Structure 1
Amino acid sequence: MRVVRFHAPGDVRIEDAPEPAPGPGDVKIRVRACSTCGTDVKIRNFGHHHIVPPRVMGHEIAGEVVEAGADVTGWQPGDRVQVIAAIPCGQCGECRKGRMTVCPNQVSMGYHFDGGFAEYMIVPPNVLAVDGLNRIPDGLSFAEASVAEPLACVLNGQNLAGVGEGDDVVVMGSGPIGCLHVRLARARGAARVFLADLNRERLDLAAGLVQPDAAICAGETDVVDAVMKLTEGRGADVVITAAAAGAAQEQAVQMTARQGRISFFGGLPKDKPIIALDSNLVHYRELSIVGANGSSPQHNKEALRLIAEGAVPVADLITHRLPLQDALDAFGIVARGEAIKVTVEP
C-alpha cells in the first residue's frame, strides 16, 4: 500500500509500505478520508518532539472497518468510523476527573502511532480503551466525518470560553479552525459573529462561505477600533484567537467587553511564546482568559452529531479533495493559504 511518511524535517515521502495486520486488540480500517491541517505543515517543516521517524502522518481520520482483532468486540467489517486524534490514558487523576484534554499521558494518532495518510491503518487498543472509535452517522460522508476532529477541538474551546446565547463573538483567524468557530458560535446562539484576518484574500474566501456579520481585514484597518465600532463601544463578549499570533492575543484583551471571555485557542511559536499583556484591562474589566488544548473522545462524538444534524455544516469548507499520491501538494496548498480544508482521499 501507499503511505505518506515523515522521515525528517523537510523530508516527507510518499512510499510503499506493507499492509498492516491487526493485533488481538486492534481494529484495521481502510482510510477513506484524512483531512489536513496547519499542524501537518509544521510537522513537515520542523518535525515534532513526539514523533520518532519514520512515521505515517495524518490525524483527521475517517474510514471503514476491514478487520477486528480477536479480542475486539462490537466492530464488523464495513462499519463506517471516525478516529480520535488525541488519545487520553483514561486512568490518571485528570482523566478520572473528566479533564481528558489535559491528560499528561496523552498520545496521538500520526505522532505516537501511524496515522491516516495511508490506504490502510491500525486503530490501536489505546483508542478503543477510551471509546475513541466513533460510528459515522448515516448520511454523513467520510470527508465530512474527518472534519469532526478539528470541530471537536473548537467545541472544547467554546465550552471553556462559555460561548452562548446573545454573545457578540470575534474570531481572529479565517483558516479552517476560524470558519468552524464562526459556525459553532452561530449554532450556540451567538447574536453576532465577526471574523478577522490579516490576509485579505484568505478572509474573503472564508467570509464568502461562513458569512460572518462583518469581515475585518486587520492588514488594512485597526481591528480593535473596528470591533469597538461594531459593538457600539462596549467590545465583544468573547474573542477567540484562532491564529498563531501574539499580536492577536494582545489585541484580544483590548477589544473584549467587561466581564468578557478570551480564548487563546491558537498556540504561539515556541520561539515567541511571550506577549505583552495589559493586566489592568484584565483586572478592571474583570476579563477571563482561557486556553484550549485539543479535544476529548466525548467532544468528537458531539462534533459528529452537530455535523450530521446540520447544526455545523462542513461540506462546503472542504475546498480541495486530493488522492493520496498528491498528498504532498495538499501540504503546499495549506501552507499557501489557498484552501479552507484540504482532504486526502486514499
Structure 2
Amino acid sequence: MRAALLEGIQKIKMTQIPKPTVGKGDVLVRVVACGICRTDMKAYQIGQRDLHLPRVLGHEISGIVEETGSEVTSVQPGDRVQIAPGLPCGTCDYCRKGMDNLCDHVEIMGFHYDGGFAEYVLVPENGVRHGVLNKIPESLTFYEAALTEPLACSVNMQESVQILSGDVVVIFGGGPLGILNAKLARIRGASSIILVEKRAARIEAAEKEFDHCINLMEENAVERIRTLTAGKGADAAIPCCPDPQAVADSLAVLGKKGRFGFFSGLVMGEDAPHIDWNLIHYKELAVYGAYGCSSNHNRTALELLSSGMVRVSDMTTRILPFEELVQGIEMVARRDDTNLIIDLTI
C-alpha cells in the first residue's frame, strides 16, 4: 500500500509498505482524509518526544472500515469512521477516571503506531476495545470528521478553563485551534471573544468568529483589551500558538480571578520574553493545562459536529493529494492556509 514514511528529520519517503494484517480484535480502515497539523510539522522538522521512527505520521483521520477481526462487533466493513488517536491502557487510575489522555501508558497513532498518511491504517485491539472508532453520520463529510480530534482538544481546554456565559475570552492565534476555541466559546455563552494575531491574512480568514480582532503588528494588545473591557481585563485567555509572548500577554490581559488556559506547548528561544508570573499571585489567577483529548472529549466533539452546533465546513481551505504531503507540511509551517487535509482518494 502507499504510505508516507518518516525515516528521519525532514526525510519523508513516499513508498510502498505491506498492508497491515488484521488480528482477531483489530480493525483495518481505508483512509479517506487525514488533516495536517502543526504537530505533524514539528515531528517532520525537529522530531517529537513520543515519535518512534520510522513512522507514518497523521492523527486526524477519517475513513471507511475495510476489514474487522473475528472478535470485533462494534463496527463492520463499510462503516464510515473517525479515529481518536490515543490508545489507552484502560486500567491505570487516569483511564478509570475517564482521563485517558493522561494515561500512564498511552500510545498514539502517528507516533507509536502508524497513522493516517497511508492508504490503510490498522487500529489495534486495545484501541478498538476502548472505543477509539467513532461512526460518522451521513450528514458529515470525511473532511469535517477529520477535524474531530483538534475540536476534541479544544473541548478539553474549555472544560478545564471553564468558559462561562458572559465571559470575555481572549484567544491568541487565528489558526485552526484558535478558530475552534472561538466557536466553542460562542456556544458556551461567551459575551465577547477577542482575537490577537499578527498575520493580516489569518485575521481576515478568522474574523467572522470574533467580536474584536487585534493585529499585533498595528497595536498593543494589552492596552486595547484594557480599553475594550473598561479596565477590568478578560475573564479567560487561551494562547493557541507556541509563542511565549502570548503567555506573557495572556497573564497581562486577564482581570482579577481570571483563568489562563495553557493549551499550546511553548517554543522557548534565547530571545524569549520575560513572563511576569507574579501576576498569578497578585491577581489571583487560575492556570489550567490541557493536553490532547480523551476518548470522551473526542465523542463530544463528534456530537457537536454531527448536531451542527459547531460547523467547520468553511475551515478547510486546501485539499491535497497524497503525493503532495511534504508540500502540505511546508504550507502548515508557512501558515498559508487555515486547515489542510490530505485526501487519499484523489
Distance (whole Å) between structure 2 residues aligned to residue 137 and residue 23 of structure 1: 27
After superposition, what is the alpha-carbon deviation per residue over 1:32-77, rounded to whole angstroms, capped at 9, x for unaligned? 1101101111111112232222111100000110110112122211
Distance (whole Å) between structure 1 residues aligned to residue 66 and residue 287 of structure 2: 44
Instruction: Name the counterpart of 2:298.
Output: 300
For 1:225-236, what aligned pairs fall within 5 Å after superposition? Answer: 225-236=223-234
- Cα shift at 1:314: 0.7
- Cα shift at 1:283: 2.0
For 1:146-161, what aligned pairs fall within 5 Å after superposition? Answer: 146-161=146-161
Letter in 2 for 1:282: I
Distance (whole Å) between structure 1 residues aligned to residue 62 and residue 99 of structure 2: 25
For 1:217-296, what aligned pairs fall within 5 Å after superposition? Answer: 217-269=215-267, 276-296=274-294
Instruction: Say whether residues 1:113 and 2:140 are aligned partners.
Output: no
Equivalent residues, number: 344
Instruction: Name the counterpart of 2:308.
Output: 310
After superposition, what is the alpha-carbon deviation per residue over 1:206-229, rounded to whole angstroms, capped at 9, x for unaligned? 22xx43101111122111111111
Distance (whole Å) between structure 1 residues aligned to residue 216 and residue 157 of structure 2: 23
Q: Which moved more, 1:316-325 or 1:265-274?
A: 265-274
Letter in 2 for 1:157: M
Q: Secondary structure at the match of 1:314?
A: coil
For 1:18-167, what aligned pairs fall within 5 Å after superposition? Answer: 18-167=18-167
Distance (whole Å) between structure 2 residues aligned to residue 89 and residue 221 of structure 1: 48
Q: Secondary structure at the match of 1:282?
A: helix
Distance (whole Å) between structure 2 residues aligned to residue 281 and residue 52 of structure 1: 39
After superposition, what is the alpha-carbon deviation per residue over 1:164-202, rounded to whole angstroms, capped at 9, x for unaligned? 211110000111110101111101111111111122222
Instruction: Name the counterpart of 1:173.
Output: 173
Stretches of structure 2 that go unaligned for 5 or more consecutive residues are none
Please say if residues 241 and 266 of structure 1, whose CA atoms lie closer than 8 Å, have aligned partners that are also in contact.
Answer: yes
Please say if residues 245 and 272 of structure 2, whose CA atoms lie closer than 8 Å, have aligned partners that are also in contact.
Answer: no
Q: Which moved more, 1:167-176 or 1:325-334?
A: 325-334
Distance (whole Å) between structure 2 residues aligned to residue 190 and residue 94 of structure 1: 30
Please provide the CA RMSD for this pair.
1.6
Distance (whole Å) between structure 1 residues aligned to residue 271 and residue 237 of structure 2: 19
Q: Secondary structure at the match of 1:63?
A: strand
Please say if residues 10 and 44 of structure 2, whose CA atoms lie closer than 8 Å, have aligned partners that are also in contact.
Answer: yes
Distance (whole Å) between structure 1 residues aligned to residue 309 and residue 186 of structure 2: 9
Q: Secondary structure at the match of 1:248?
A: helix
After superposition, what is the alpha-carbon deviation per residue over 1:212-260, rounded to whole angstroms, capped at 9, x for unaligned? 1011111221111111111111111110011101111011111001111
After superposition, what is the alpha-carbon deviation per residue over 1:94-124, rounded to whole angstroms, capped at 9, x for unaligned? 2222322222211100011110011111111
TM-score (norm 1): 0.95
Instruction: Say whether residues 1:211 and 2:209 are aligned partners.
Output: yes
Change in Cα spacing, 1:262 to 1:193, as seen in structure 2 (3 Å) is same
Instruction: Say whether residues 1:323 and 2:305 are aligned partners.
Output: no
Q: Which moved more, 1:87-96 or 1:155-164?
A: 87-96
Q: Which moved more, 1:56-65 or 1:83-92?
A: 83-92
Please say if residues 203 and 213 of structure 2, whose CA atoms lie closer than 8 Å, have aligned partners that are also in contact.
Answer: yes
Q: Secondary structure at the match of 1:193?
A: strand
- Cα shift at 1:270: 6.3
Q: Secondary structure at the match of 1:317?
A: coil
Change in Cα spacing, 1:272 to 1:142, as seen in structure 2 (3 Å) is farther
TM-score (norm 2): 0.95
Identity level (%): 40
- Cα shift at 1:273: 12
Instruction: Name the counterpart of 1:10.
Output: 10
- Cα shift at 1:278: 2.7
Distance (whole Å) between structure 1 residues aligned to residue 122 and residue 247 of structure 2: 39
Distance (whole Å) between structure 2 residues aligned to residue 334 and residue 280 of structure 1: 35
Distance (whole Å) between structure 2 residues aligned to residue 254 and residue 306 of structure 1: 32
Distance (whole Å) between structure 1 residues aligned to residue 271 and residue 63 of structure 2: 37
- Cα shift at 1:321: 0.7
Please say if residues 58 and 117 of structure 1, whose CA atoms lie closer than 8 Å, have aligned partners that are also in contact.
Answer: yes
For 1:164-203, what aligned pairs fall within 5 Å after superposition? Answer: 164-203=164-203
Change in Cα spacing, 1:225 to 1:57, as seen in structure 2 (3 Å) is same
Letter in 1 for 2:143: A
Distance (whole Å) between structure 2 residues aligned to residue 271 and residue 108 of structure 1: 28
Distance (whole Å) between structure 2 residues aligned to residue 46 and residue 279 of structure 1: 29
